[in-house]
């Protein structure tokens, strides 16, 4: 369950990045706000899954939570390199 939960969460985060970029379009120096927004949405979704789960997600979230910051940074770098995000 842990691996599938982590992969789904990563897929969610990667999907959120361009959406949040659009929400903050035109706002200068909003990187920290964008990252916080992605993290808060991911936490809300993970919390919902946790509530429905029979176990394991809480521990998995603890592991993933520490990786969110660098994962979001990496996702943004990859999307910028591929031209997915507009600067």
Q: Encode pLDDT of 45-61 as tens digits.
A: 776 655 555 566 666 66
CA-wise closest residue to 46 among 15, 5, 1, 2: 5
User: Would you state the pLDDT for residue 48?
Assistant: 66
CA distance linking residue 74 with residue 2, whole number of Å: 21
Q: Which residues of 43-57 are buried (b: 16+ CB within 10 A; e: fewer)?
A: eeebeebbeeeeeeb
Mean pLDDT of the chain: 82
User: Would you state the pLDDT for residue 26?
Assistant: 87
Q: What is the mean pLDDT of residues 16-37?
A: 92
Range name among 20-24, 32-36, 39-43, 53-57 with the lowest pLDDT average: 53-57
pTM assigned to the model: 0.77
């Amino acid at each position: 369950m842990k691996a599938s939960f982590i992969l789904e969460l990563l897929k969610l985060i990667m999907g959120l990045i361009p959406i949040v970029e659009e929400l903050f379009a035109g706002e200068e120096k909003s990187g920290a706000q964008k990252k916080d927004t992605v993290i808060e949405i991911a936490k809300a979704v993970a919390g919902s899954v946790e509530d429905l789960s029979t176990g394991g997600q809480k521990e998995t979230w603890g592991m993933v939570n520490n990786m969110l910051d660098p994962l979001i940074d990496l996702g943004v770098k990859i999307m910028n390199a591929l031209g997915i995000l507009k600067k």
